[in-house]
Amino acid sequence: MKTLGLLGGMTYESTSLYYNLINQHVRAMVSPRSSAVLFMYSADQEKMLQLAAADDWDGFAEIYIHAANALISGGAQAIVLCALLAHKASSRIEARVGVPLLHLSDFLGAEVKARGIEKVAILGTKAAMEGEFVKDRIREKFGVEVLVPNAEDRERVNTGIFNELTTGKVSPETKEKFLSVTRSLLDLGATGLILGSTDLGFVIREEDIGVPIFDTAKIHALGVAKWALRE
């Protein structure tokens, strides 16, 4: 089994979710007493969110690069970013570490493609909805079109995520805002929804919208576990 290096702290809920999911998959695939071999670094969420809000992705990346290299020196054979937003800095991090960075969008795109979906919506932070690290990477590598909300809706969703979701609480009004924006994308032809913020998996369910939901954390964690077990 390969040793993983997890970089977390973009909400401790997301970090703990990754830890639990990866271990659950390893146990299911190996034996009831098996668990993943890994190191974990958890950053101060407030610091990371401030850097993200200031669009200071160099500063954001430096924190994780320092941590990643410490984990690698201890024996980590791959790096895992335990939040979708953190992938905004993935190219910066990947260029400065000496092991593979297991990119969420690669596992996500493969899963969307395998489900036969050609047009999928994404809901998440502005960085996730607008950034090339999700929609462009999936389109270029898997031929899947990713629909994003309009500028006003992107702002509304981003505000809801940063003001409420990152605190672990979401009001009924904010959840309805998320669902309303999602429905507008389904009306444009999307037949699935990517949760472009790891913590959205705690809020939106398939029964809310009637189409397949691609929970990024769950898909990523399964792919990472399979990678760790691959000979």
Domain boundaries, the chain: 4-103+219-229, 105-215
Task: Provide CB contacts within 8 A for 116, sequence distance 6+.
Answer: none
What is the structure's pLDDT at 57? 96
What is the structure's pLDDT at 154? 94
182 neighbors 199 (Cβ within 8 angstroms): no
Characterise 75 by phi-psi region: left (phi > 0), alpha (psi -120 to 50), beta (else). left
What is the structure's pLDDT at 200? 86
Give the 3-state secondary structure of residue 61. helix
> For residue 230, which phi and psi values (nearest 5 degrees)?
-75, 135
Task: Please identify every stretch of the chain with a pLDDT value under 70, giving residue numbers as ranges.
Answer: none
What is the structure's pLDDT at 162? 86
What is the structure's pLDDT at 168? 76
Domain 4-103+219-229 shares a fold with domain 105-215? yes
> For residue 122, which phi and psi values (nearest 5 degrees)?
-135, 135
What is the structure's pLDDT at 231? 74
CATH 3.40.605.10 fits 4-103+219-229, yes or no: no
What is the structure's pLDDT at 198? 74
Can you tell me the distance from the alpha carbon of 22 to that of 79, in angstroms, rounded to the nearest whole number? 13
Where does the chain show beta strands of DSSP type E? 4-8, 38-42, 78-81, 119-124, 145-147, 193-196, 213-215
Per-residue pLDDT tens digits for 90-121: 999 999 999 999 999 999 999 999 999 999 99
CATH, domain range 105-215: 3.40.50.1860
What is the structure's pLDDT at 20? 97
Give the 3-state secondary structure of residue 222. helix
What is the structure's pLDDT at 172? 87
71 neighbors 36 (Cβ within 8 angstroms): no
180 neighbors 173 (Cβ within 8 angstroms): no
What is the structure's pLDDT at 1? 96
